[in-house]
A and B are shown apart, each in its own frame.
Chain A
């Protein structure tokens, strides 16, 4: 009966030996290759710092104007553009301008990196079933593994700061864009592909002239989710020294500053809504445009 009541486990000795072995292995790896890895990420670090400088040091009317212009070009909606401007003005008025700019710049770079990596991976997955089977579990791990678990090794390898934060954000935010790109391309109707074949389209022509354009609305939904998820990671990233709206939120959590937490939390929500509405309407506009052509 005892063997049933108590789960048979590895002995404490072996367990702690295993832990020490893995820890030791990782430590010597970090000692050996940490410098090189860090050097490898230097260009990204520069990019992150450059983009943050650009956002924080440009005069605020220019920044608001630029963001409003992007919002208008993407959505072509006065309501959304006006809402964007008002939200940014309110954020600035409540004294969160610099932090917000730092956060937006971080999210911007993270999204760019996530797209640059995620789109090709998604496309490749849609072409090869075996690759899809291999990558899907990896994506599951990336989405469910608690971030702090991989923050420890990342910090050990790259030190605290923007690059480590960016990796944490990208790991968490990249799965939707990969999944949606894969799905979108796979959902393109077989008849259309046959038609393309019949016209003698090459593989690349099929990809860029048929599959990708038709998958675009789905891909946009993935991009939208990626942006949202990277915003959700702002506070976690700030726990390893990333500047921005996460820092005051941490401060508020540590000291039970209700108002401070609320304001900065709402600022994150504000940015999220701007990004969400703009990218969604852009996706919808693409869809409309496509329906006119193919409908």
Chain B
């Protein structure tokens, strides 16, 4: 009697090991046979859980839908744009990057897609990522004359720098991010230094967010780089300043996005294209699960709203995903077939 649980555990382990060793087509293990045909096709999927909120909640939505709707065995692995995409290109793992901001890695990624190692699925954010310089909404309401970056630069007193007296401050993007270069070059291009501004180092996303939160709580002036969709922009309403000029791709690529750019030009930021990227293995093996990933996309308003809800409740990505699946079926049921939708609803 005493031995029974141990024995059954050993047996179970053996079955699992055998199942793992067996080829995908063979319905070897009895446990797997219970699952539908889709499950066998889908199998084990690793989904990159990027370290920012919108990607995290999307990864969890994918996890919930893929596992309950398509019977995949989903594992979330932590990730960040560069490391994850590099790993996908080089090692074919993880299988899915739900929210890949591909502007910065366009060249190697396109090459990998051409070679058939990776594939683009849906454009996750149909509005794309928006970058630029923002000011708090209360400030924009109080100063309706500030519409463009040039307008804001006329009034350094409204945006006091934290450590330099009598200067305006422009909060820069975190250290090492590509936007640190583009913001630094925009700072030069707009001649902000001559207009009484300094560039404020924020160090990390936490530092940048903290500076916004602090300004907002005290209704102080704030001017700096940010991007959407983000929970900060859902939580603290900000207004994006018009660059006043269109996106100048040629100069942006050649100079403004580089560290040693001697003559940066005034240019808007490009709309960042945000795709779901999957590996070739998953595209072949995923079947209907891949179809789901090539349909699944949402707008910035939806995302900002959801992220704001998450911030208010300090919800995790999984909480956010469940909240979204429960409250906004009109959006996600268009991504999947009615049968799958039923399965997902039943699992919530």
Contact = CB atoms under 8 A, between A and B. Distances in A.
Chain B interface size band reads 20 to 34
B11 to A, nearest CB: 23
B312 interface: yes
Contacts of B213: 155-156
Interface in B216-252: 217-218
A256 B207 CA distance: 21
A27 B217 contact: yes
Nearest to B202: A241
Nearest to A29: B217
Of the listed residues A19, A253, A254, the one surrounded by the most CB atoms of chain B closer than 10 A to its CB is A254
Given A20-B312, A45-B163, A160-B162, A240 B218 contact: no
Contacts, number: 96
B201 interface: yes
Given A16-B313, A152-B206, A239-B203, A252 B176 contact: yes
B83 A155 contact: no
A45 B313 CA distance: 35
B323 to A, nearest CB: 11
B163 A161 contact: yes
A243 to B, nearest CB: 6
A148 B208 CA distance: 14
A20 B82 CA distance: 35
Interface stretch (A30-38, A67-75, A125-133, A207-215): A30-38
Given A34-B218, A156-B214, A254-B176, A241 B206 contact: no
B314 A19 contact: yes
A16 B82 CA distance: 34
Chain A interface size band reads 35 or more
A58 B24 CA distance: 69
B176 A251 contact: yes
Contacts of B174: 250, 254
Contacts of B315: 16
A160 B176 contact: no
A246 B201 CA distance: 12
B176 A241 contact: no
A160 B207 CA distance: 6
B211 A238 contact: no
B312 A239 contact: no
A193 to B, nearest CB: 48
B200 interface: yes
A155 B162 CA distance: 12
Interface in A223-262: 238-243, 246-248, 250-256
Interface of A: 16, 19-20, 23, 27, 30-31, 34-35, 45, 49, 148, 151-152, 155-157, 159-162, 238-243, 246-248, 250-256
Interface of B: 82-83, 162-163, 174-177, 180, 200-204, 206-208, 210-211, 213-214, 217-218, 312-315
